[in-house]
Amino acid sequence: MTNITLRAVKVLFALVIGLVGVTAPAGAGQAAVQAVCGDTSGFTRVNLSALPSQATDTVRLIRQGGPFPYRQDGSVFQNRERLLPLCSTGYYHEYTVKTPGSSTRGARRIVTGSAGEYFYTADHYASFRLVDIRA
């Protein structure tokens, strides 16, 4: 992709985001983003620094694009439990938050939304908290 094309894509993306009204709740920081396809105002918000340290490790990997420790990381999260805002398939992706001492992936996950939301679940999708990744 040429620099001009890349710049055009970035400008177009910024315009689209502005038009659809992706906003952060007051005082929540940019990471606690409002989903384009649903309301996140009812979610308990938590600072990344208040989660287990492994969540910070996972967020760091997500932001740098991997490499991820499990082949399932980055896969589409289906939202079968319907606890997150109801968005189109492919909007959410899931990532493992390692559980010390577990021989499996464990129950902890970070689920990201296409608008920049980060959700944390410690109980394998039974509940979610909206994460402010800047704190």
For residue 38, the model assigns a pLDDT of 84
Please say if 81 is a catalytic residue. Answer: no
Selecting among 81, 93, 117, 124, the annotated active-site residue is: 124
Asked if 95 and 109 touch (Cβ cutoff 8 Å), the reply is yes
Domain positions in the chain: 25-132
Q: Which of 114, 109, 127, 6 is nearest to 51 (CA)?
A: 109
85 pLDDT more than 90: yes
- Please report the pLDDT score of residue 43 as a whole number: 95
| DSSP per position, the chain | --HHHHHHHHHHHHHHHHHHT--PPTTS-TTSPPPTTS--TTSPEEEGGGS-HHHHHHHHHHHHT---SSTTTTEEP--TT--S----TTSEEEEE---TT-SS--S-EEEEETTS-EEEESSTTS--EEEETT-
Percentage with pLDDT > 70 across the chain:
74
Which residue in 81, 93, 94, 117 is the catalytic one? 94
pLDDT of residue 36: 75
Catalytic residue at 94? yes
Q: What would the CATH number be for the domain defined by 25-132?
A: 3.10.450.30
